[in-house]
Amino acid sequence: MEPFRQHRGRVVPLDRANVDTDAIIPKQFLKSVKRTGFGESLFHAWRYLPPSDEHGEHRLNPDFVLNHPHHQGASILLARKNFGCGSSREHAVWALGEAGFRAVIAPSYSEIFFNNCFKNGFLPIVLEENIIEQLFQEVDALRGYELLVDLENRRIETHHGEHISFEINEFHRMCLIEGLDQIGLTLQHRDAIEAYESQRREQAPWLFQGPAEAAK
């Protein structure tokens, strides 16, 4: 996983609450068995116009904010509350990452989406609603608005040089900064897992009579 320490990038504002993962990446794109190929389909129903002819070619919807010329190349998404609600599909984070995004800033997230971000070098920043509102106004007022996300110091620096701190739990911060393989990290506790299992097997043996064992 690509480490995340600092990132400077252009901001695109997505001014609606409760953006769900069906909207971020619709289900027709979840049939792939691969981890890549989702970027083109990010926000598909909003980003493209309905196909106008039988060839079904999708043209960009010029009204959708991600398609505005001055937002091209943006890598930070500014969003409203409860971002990423709904389905657990990690494809939503993969699609954002492939479309060039490294971070999202919102007042709140659905928890599954939030957790999925840290597995993919993608930073979800939580800020108070009034600060989010201020950022929306600043972004609207200035074309090419940029932010510096400084994860090492847990703060962002606005286009105008203002520093705004954010909170993030230490485990998530370390995973991003080090680009950690979480499975490898957990397997360092192999002995503890095995000890737990053998004690649990004594206490509650019915938990270990799983399908594969029953099939034998």
Binding interface with other proteins (CB under 8 A): 16-18, 20, 22-23, 26-28, 30-35, 45, 50, 80-82, 85-91, 93, 108-112, 115-116, 119-120, 169-171, 174, 182-183, 186-187, 189, 192-193, 196-197, 200, 204-215
Helix or strand holding residue 111 (H, E): helix 111-118
Q: Report angle CA 21, 143, 61 to the nearest 5 degrees.
A: 45
**Closest distance to other proteins from the beta carbon of 107 (Å):** 10
Task: Name the residue nearer to other proteins (CB basis): 141 or 212.
Answer: 212
Q: Report angle CA 20, 99, 117 to the nearest 5 degrees.
A: 55
**Closest distance to other proteins from the beta carbon of 68 (Å):** 19
Task: Name the residue nearer to other proteins (CB basis): 45 or 142.
Answer: 45
**Closest distance to other proteins from the beta carbon of 27 (Å):** 5
Q: What is the residue whose two structure tokens read 């060839």?
A: 55
Q: CA-to-CA distance for 134 and 71, rounded, in angstroms?
A: 19
Task: Name the residue nearer to other proteins (CB basis): 61 or 88.
Answer: 88
**Closest distance to other proteins from the beta carbon of 51 (Å):** 10
Q: CA-to-CA distance for 93 and 90, rounded, in angstroms?
A: 5
Tell me the CA distances in angstroms from 196 to 105, 184, 200, 204, 209, one per residue in order: 39, 19, 6, 12, 16
Task: Name the residue nearer to other proteins (CB basis): 69 or 206.
Answer: 206
Q: CA-to-CA distance for 46 and 62, rounded, in angstroms?
A: 10
**Closest distance to other proteins from the beta carbon of 8 (Å):** 26
Task: Name the residue nearer to other proteins (CB basis): 34 or 55.
Answer: 34
